[in-house]
Amino acid sequence: MPPTAKILLVDDDETVLELVRETLQGCGYAIDTATNSQEAMARVKQQDYAMIILDLLLPDMNGFLLSQEIKRIRPALAERILFISGILFGQSTVEHLGSMGAGFLSKPFRIDSLIEAVDKITNRRAAP
């Protein structure tokens, strides 16, 4: 069995944090959480992660800016950031988000879509 991938989940919504954490822990992932950009940056500086799940709307910094800071500190994460948001975006914005990281999931997202995206990003399962 491959080693457990460690994931950082960044979202200010406690319900989302709990649901995603429980779901991914049930799939065998190790999950750290942060509710704002300062917590997220502190964790990224201290720990290596297989990927980051990042909400675009945080109370102290938007997810775009935070992702740029994360990439500056940990360049290997550049294509391992999965953006999530409850805001509806047009197709061109969704495509742009995908080009900035590993992809985008719109809240509310399906649990199977989350697991599929995470498995693909962490290379746990080969992409079809």
In 3-state terms, what secondary structure has residue 9? strand
Summarize the confidence of residues 38-52 as an average pLDDT.
Answer: 97
| Nearest Cα residue to 48 out of 83, 84, 75 | 75
Over residues 54-102, the pLDDT tens digits come to 998 899 998 889 999 999 999 999 889 999 987 655 555 546 555 555 6
In this prediction the pTM is 0.87
| Nearest Cα residue to 19 out of 117, 109, 105 | 109
What value does the mean pLDDT of the chain take? 86
